[in-house]
Structure 1
Amino acid sequence: MAATGAGGGGRGGPGQEERDAKLGHEAEAAVGATADGPELGTGAGRLAEGIHTQPLLTPGESYKVSFACAGSGAAEATVQSKGATEVKKVECGGAPVHMRVHDAASRVTIDVTAVGEASGMAAYRIAEFTP
């Protein structure tokens, strides 16, 4: 079955939506997006579309960006700030991956994309970094 566009019902209709919701909750829980505590931003999205965001942060501060993936395969997480780029592989169903951003710019770029034929949901969480 061919995939449809983002507004066209997705793959498999309601069953796919339920699966995505379940996997989204798993990925969000893995990064602590559902936990109490200070956070500056969270997000989740289907690996098919990826996550592409540029959150506003306090310049000069340090942050921890956590990523998780639920589903099959792996994702590639990228964080860019002040010309520096860090890329890490995130295994779906594996442990969360963390990146630190020191002396952040006011905007950082966060991208999460599927590796190969990976499918499922990915999530990220930004929190203040305290050593």
Structure 2
Amino acid sequence: MNDGIHTEPGLSEGKTYRLSLACAGTGSAQLVFVPTNAGTKATVPCDGSVVQQRITADKLVRINVDGSKGATGVVAWQIDAP
């Protein structure tokens, strides 16, 4: 899981969205938002379970998911407007 996810989705400012994220493999991944108040930093276990976060959109939101040291696997993500 070297590359991870690094994305700046086109979200509407001031709206709230739901991010669903799953990792399948071994180890875990770290979820971080920029700006930090857009969402909550979290550890995502690579056991296939789904982690959900609320995102509050600012002018620009960057979502970063990086594997922890030794982690292997794949990450899937989806953003929905409630």
TM-score by length of 2: 0.86
Identity of aligned residues (%): 35
Number of corresponding residues = 81
Structure holding more strand per residue: 2
Structure holding more helix per residue: 1
Specify the structure having the higher radius of gyration (Cα): 1
Matched, 1:56 2:10: yes
Structure 1 residues not aligned, in runs of 5+: 1-46
Q: Which of the residues 54, 70, 79 maps onto 1:117?
A: 70
1:69-84 correspondence runs (5 A): 69-81=23-35, 83-84=36-37
**Is the Cα contact below 8 Å between 1:66 and 1:126 reproduced in 2?**
yes
- Partners of 2:31 and 2:22 lie apart in 1 by 9
* Cα drift, residue 106 of structure 1: 3.3
Residues 40-73 of structure 1 show CA distances to partners (whole Å, capped at 9, x for unaligned) of xxxxxxx211111111111111101111101111
- Partners of 2:79 and 2:4 lie apart in 1 by 17
Runs of 4+, deviation exceeding 6 Å = none
Structure 2 residues not aligned, in runs of 5+: none
CA RMSD after TM alignment: 1.5
**Is the Cα contact below 8 Å between 1:56 and 1:106 reproduced in 2?**
no
